[in-house]
A and B are shown apart, each in its own frame.
Chain A
């Protein structure tokens, strides 16, 4: 609409420019990578931090949410590493190839890089210098000019490169653990994963932060080849003073299968962007998520599922429970390109408002250019059912407990779809902890 006239740079934009200028020389990568970083940062500079006048950020005004830009974190000290060890305790029972980053830096003593045959897990910082860097910094699925993705490409120093050979089923899940310790810093991470034809893998990404104000930005690029299967579980449990931006970009081949679940339990403001592109026929994707927020926290889920192949099906289901003055945003879009016949898409977004001051915004879109399709979406916003509450209370269950039971049932529907038992427990425990903290 109105051409954005950008004259004033915000404090955060100015700070980001300064940080980039001073950090640039020290960021890993060959000259091609340096060029890629510069292009990405120029794209950010041209657009600036998006305000709500940018349609894609209408409900998440990043310019207002990001008042300053934190410096990139230095190497963690012993105290931080000890703290991180404690924070990782809930995951100890899950046997996995584990790559741990504290404040965005790889920490070997908290990691276990052992993998089965046919599965390779290496560090991104090595890939950035061995010629594979530019590819690792360009996902080709997320929308051009997306600010979160551009900033990640400009600043990311390390991450994980996962490769599953054709026909191989990874026997252990691969867990990328991001821990923030200390305060007032920014951390960037990136996972580049490729599952070869007929391969199969379970990826876990967790974000933990106990206290402190952080800015985190993570990107996962996932390429699922023909006949392959990938499951991804993300647990976002950042400190309650963190700005968390995350992007998942998935490319699916033919007869491929994707299953993802994202839990949003932390952060002051979090935006999870999910971009899934069907490029081969007959694939399926199940994309789910659950979120909890209280106080004046802000949770955004932005999703685009692009059907550009015949006979693919996608299921999207997101549930959020909101308390206090919290606000949830759901922007979901199913695109069916011309010729993507026999597409079957169903999207559902549900928000539960537990307090007077909570707010839910939803924008579930359909964009359809093919006729032989079955697509639908639904969205609901509402409070807990008074009659059900009354029923529970009449059975002697106190108000808060009754509410907790109902919220548990509400989010349980999506949490139950996590196949890995240990992970399902971690997520359920986190949900229960939130509900207990409410009472």
Chain B
């Protein structure tokens, strides 16, 4: 298996600290005043040149947020976050609103090059075998570049930073923003509604199959800065879109906050495939630094026979608090959740999904693979519910946990709520370690211990990896092995 050997070779190349995206880009930036007040909200809104209704929407959320209490039910433990010590807006100073890629600060382009994210369209076109992916790159609080916009526009697809969508397509934004995750949804979503700075907006019109993969790449660079991105994807009747999201951050000693909101809306017969490779800085081996990742992701299968599929590979962040969900409202709609959550060092993951069956003949599938190593804690928390009128709702859930080392923890907290007798729910979960027999078999075939673990782990997560778009699957596979570095022996 060459991929495994490559992985192992890669792991060896890397220094003691495995996180390879930990560099800082030295770039001048424009920041909001420290702390959070109505003025901060007004500042952000003004920076974005937003219309009045958007500002009101934000202020409304801000006032509500002030009355809310931070949730503490998740199995994560962290010191209180000083919300007034954070910067809520930071943007690279040099080129406010670049028109073309040539106007983008070369320092920024180099950053994305280092990260392996192609922003130059021609380079991608030159590569014969490479598939084309349109990228929206978000650096701290603003989107710096969006590629392939013209070509997408020809197909009728709108793919742009959300701040641009608020200006250019207010009717769509007004109609859909907050319709899946209302501003009052939860503490972090409300905070996001007040201060979100950028993110991606996608609209796929009726009957259009989006001609390429869409992708957003998030990068936190600035110190003490929170990143609050907001993504809104709408797939109109009979359309299809596949969207990828990737994230990294520099290595810093202090913790950084990331509170995003993602809303998906699928109309009749539409399908949205949303894949995430989350690789925020997880902190060092002793748990110093790292990103606090508090994310609200929710998809609304609004139309008949619509489908939303979440795939996530979670390897980064000091704390992950994230439950991508599907509201299966349309009759015959389908929700899927495939997840690999890997924790090492002192990472804490509390993640899972919600499948809320409201329409008739709705189906959902959950495959979750948790791998804990080092001194990490990894929790799967999920809800499957069928309401009275959700006749013939069907769910299959499979959560497996793998433990590597005796100082980590793996937990499963599923909730099943069936309010109709026609619902059929099946849930199974297992927890185990890599068995000595499996390891022995690999060793006697000449693999080293590290190779053996990489092979077994890759086999363990195969069901989920298969759901990722091909180029991401290869990347994710490498990432998994790197994340587990140091956990063997």
Contacts and interface: CB of A to CB of B under 8 A. Distances in A.
Do the two shown chains form a genuine complex with each other?
yes
Interface of A: 1-3, 55, 338-339, 341, 351, 353-383
Contacts of B411: 365-368
Contact of B417 (A355, A361, A376): A361
Contacts of A355: 421
Given A358-B421, A378-B428, A379-B425, A371 B406 contact: yes
Nearest to B433: A371
A362 B412 contact: no
11 contacts: A1-B73, A353-B418, A363-B414, A364-B412, A364-B414, A370-B406, A375-B430, A377-B427, A379-B414, A379-B426, A383-B422
Contacts, number: 118
Contact of A378 (B406, B409, B427, B432): B427
Contacts of B414: 362-365, 379
A2 B429 CA distance: 30
B150 interface: no
Contacts of A382: 423-425
B69 interface: yes
Given A371-B404, A376-B428, 15 more contacts: A1-B72, A351-B418, A353-B423, A360-B418, A362-B416, A364-B429, A366-B431, A368-B401, A368-B411, A373-B433, A375-B430, A377-B429, A378-B428, A381-B424, A381-B425
B41 to A, nearest CB: 24
Nearest to B400: A376
A55 B415 CA distance: 12
B416 A381 contact: yes
A351 B404 CA distance: 34
A354 B421 CA distance: 7
B372 to A, nearest CB: 9
Given A341-B406, A374-B432, A364 B421 contact: no
Nearest to B378: A368
A365 B352 CA distance: 13
A358 to B, nearest CB: 5
B409 A367 contact: yes
A363 B415 contact: yes
A370 B414 CA distance: 20
Nearest to A385: B424
A8 B452 CA distance: 61
Contacts of B71: 1
B420 interface: yes
Contacts of A338: 406-407
Contacts of B406: 338-339, 341, 370-372
Interface of B: 69, 71-73, 401, 403-433
A375 B409 CA distance: 13
Contact of A379 (B413, B422, B427, B430): B427
Q: Determine which residue in B411, B418, B421 has the highest number of CB atoms from chain A within 10 A of its CB, and name it.
A: B421
Contacts of A367: 409, 411
3 A-B pairs closest in CB distance:
A353-B421, A371-B403, A366-B412
A273 B405 CA distance: 33
B466 to A, nearest CB: 23
A367 B416 CA distance: 17
Nearest to B407: A338
A2 B424 CA distance: 33
Contacts of B432: 373-375
Given A356-B420, A364-B414, A367-B409, A380 B427 contact: yes
Contacts of B425: 379-382
B431 A55 contact: no
Q: Determine which residue in B409, B416, B420, B427 has the highest number of CB atoms from chain A within 10 A of its CB, and name it.
A: B416
A382 B419 CA distance: 10
Nearest to B409: A369
Contact of B429 (A341, A357, A360, A378): A378
B427 A55 contact: no
A365 B418 CA distance: 17
A3 B412 contact: no
Contacts of B426: 378-380
Contact of A381 (B401, B404, B412, B423): B423
Q: Determine which residue in A1, A3, A371, A375 has the highest number of CB atoms from chain B within 10 A of its CB, and name it.
A: A371
Contacts of A359: 417-419
Contacts of B69: 1-3
Given A373-B431, A374-B432, A376-B430, A365 B412 contact: yes
B419 A376 contact: no
Contacts of A372: 406, 433
A3 B68 CA distance: 11
B73 A55 contact: yes
Contacts of A1: 69, 71-73
B410 A368 contact: yes
Nearest to A367: B411
A335 B121 CA distance: 53
Q: Determine which residue in B401, B426, B431 has the highest number of CB atoms from chain A within 10 A of its CB, and name it.
A: B431
B408 A371 contact: yes
Q: Determine which residue in A338, A351, A358, A369 has the highest number of CB atoms from chain B within 10 A of its CB, and name it.
A: A369
A375 B416 CA distance: 19
Contacts of A381: 416, 418, 423-425
A313 to B, nearest CB: 14
B65 to A, nearest CB: 14
A374 B434 CA distance: 11
Given A55-B73, A360-B418, A371-B433, A365 B413 contact: yes
A363 B413 contact: yes
A375 B410 CA distance: 11
A375 B404 CA distance: 15
A373 B416 CA distance: 25
B403 A361 contact: no
Nearest to B430: A376
A364 B430 contact: no
B433 A379 contact: no
A345 to B, nearest CB: 9
Contacts of B409: 367-369
Given A368-B403, A368-B431, A356 B73 contact: no
